[in-house]
Amino acid sequence: MEIWPWHADGVKTLIIGAGMAGLTLAARLCQQGRDPVIIERSTSIEGGYALGLYPVGSCVLHGLGTYEQLVEQSLAIERYELANSSGRVLQSFDMSVLTAALGPLLMVSRSDLVRLLESSCAGADVRRGVTVSSLNQEAERVEVRFDDGTVEHFDLVVACDGIDSSTRELVFGPASQYHSGWTLWTWWVGPEQFESTVAREWWGAGCIFGAYPAPGQVMCAAGGPTSALAGSDARASLQRHLVNLIDHIPAVGAAIGDLRDAYSWAMRDVRSDRWVDRRVVLCGDAAVGFMPTAGIGASNAMRAAAGLADELSRADAASVPLALELYEKRCRKIIERNQTDSRRLARVMFVRPPLLAWGRDQLAGLYPAKRALREIIDSAHQPF
């Protein structure tokens, strides 16, 4: 028998998706003594990719008491270097400027971060291998049918189910998308080929390659126009397509040669026109999705989740819709601005004609590194 209401001033919350947004929100709600139910479609947290966390996202772990653990499990990037396809360095950012102003850019494997966030969710009811079949908004609550056939009622449902959110589709309908027409492949290699604290990218005409060190391993990312990377053999198609880069940079050739299990990602993103529908709300990539190349999606997902938890800390079950309205007002503008910037960056990165790529490289070399870091630092000073 279901007991209703859950308890006197509680807010019975369902979080869909145990990624960065879902687990951050769950951890903050657990701190408030409002243990949520969190469901996750996937049964495994292994595999995945490296995440670069900026202080605007990692700072949430200060409040959870796990920041020091994050530092132990991650690697602080000391320099970011951008080169053209013949290896000429166009930009070199000394990240100590960022570290001194706000804190380090930390590279961590996604699965380690998931484990760390989940360790702060002791009170939550975490159910893996479960998803939602249907949602029905009643007057004061939401009826949820799970894919195992069970039905439960909640005061609040938070969709943290990522860029392809099926909850968003179910409740809000199709969202607007940005497609760059490029695909990125990611895979892990050993630490030998690349410097351990330097994130490096090579931009060519119609191709990119990046090496992002994490503790004990390096995540490689290589991409190009989707049409040029067709075929199921990722190694062969990257070797073919990135041949100029491989000729100039032996480490790139070696890393592609070492490719075993690679994942492909379409370089696109999503922006939902609405975040809130009565007692259902979007958070993280489900609301504003980010391309991997932006390097800021996880940080935004975490700070949006912390912002939502903050608004909910002042709400009871009756005032949930107001808390959701305030959360959207608080977060939407700044996250959408970040996404607009990431699309701008994508247009600069994903250039195909050689002449345009040459012009881009000249301009990239002139852009003051200090100014780019200043923009990141300034954005952290805006209220959120």
Ligand X SMILES: Cc1cc2nc3c(=O)[nH]c(=O)nc-3n(C[C@H](O)[C@H](O)[C@H](O)COP(=O)(O)OP(=O)(O)OC[C@H]3O[C@@H](n4cnc5c(N)ncnc54)[C@H](O)[C@@H]3O)c2cc1C
Question: Which residues contribute to the site for ligand X (CB under 6 A)?
Answer: 16-22, 39-42, 49, 51-52, 131, 160-162, 166, 186, 265, 284-286, 290, 292, 295-299, 301
Rounded least distance, CB 327 to ligand X, Å:
15
C-alpha distances out from residue 151 to 1, 135, 136, 142, 148, Å: 11, 10, 11, 10, 9
Rounded least distance, CB 289 to ligand X, Å:
7
Rounded least distance, CB 165 to ligand X, Å:
7
Nearest CA-CA partner of 27 in 61, 53, 57: 61
Residues in the chain: 384
Helix 320-349 and helix 297-312, axial crossing angle in degrees, nearest 10:
170
Strand order in the sheet with 13-16: 125-128, 37-40, 13-16, 156-159, 280-282, 276-277
Rounded least distance, CB 144 to ligand X, Å:
11
Nearer to ligand X, 73 or 244 (CB): 73
Rounded least distance, CB 123 to ligand X, Å:
20
**381/38 Cα distance (integer angstroms):** 32
Three state DSSP letters for 66-110: CHHHHHHHCEECCEEEEEECCCCEEEEEECHHHHHHCCCCEEEEH
Rounded least distance, CB 224 to ligand X, Å:
15
Q: Which helix (H) or strand (E) holds 31?
A: helix 20-31
Nearer to ligand X, 22 or 317 (CB): 22
**17/23 Cα distance (integer angstroms):** 8
Rounded least distance, CB 120 to ligand X, Å:
15
Rounded least distance, CB 267 to ligand X, Å:
10
Nearest CA-CA partner of 141 in 279, 288, 345, 304: 279
Nearer to ligand X, 180 or 186 (CB): 186
Nearer to ligand X, 211 or 317 (CB): 211
Is the CB of residue 192 less than 8 Å from the CB of residue 220? no
Nearer to ligand X, 102 or 317 (CB): 102
Is the CB of residue 171 less than 8 Å from the CB of residue 135? yes
Rounded least distance, CB 142 to ligand X, Å:
15
Is the CB of residue 280 less than 8 Å from the CB of residue 171? yes
Nearer to ligand X, 6 or 290 (CB): 290
Nearer to ligand X, 16 or 312 (CB): 16
All residues at 6 or more sequence positions from 77 whose CB lies less than 8 Å from its CB, including other chains: 52, 95, 104, 105, 106, 107, 197, 198, 199, 213
Nearer to ligand X, 14 or 317 (CB): 14
Rounded least distance, CB 147 to ligand X, Å:
8
The residue with tokens 């060190």 is 213
Alpha helices in 74-229 (DSSP H): 96-101, 110-118, 166-172
Nearer to ligand X, 238 or 317 (CB): 238
All residues at 6 or more sequence positions from 344 whose CB lies less than 8 Å from its CB, including other chains: none
Helix 20-31 and helix 297-312, axial crossing angle in degrees, nearest 10:
30
Nearer to ligand X, 237 or 299 (CB): 299
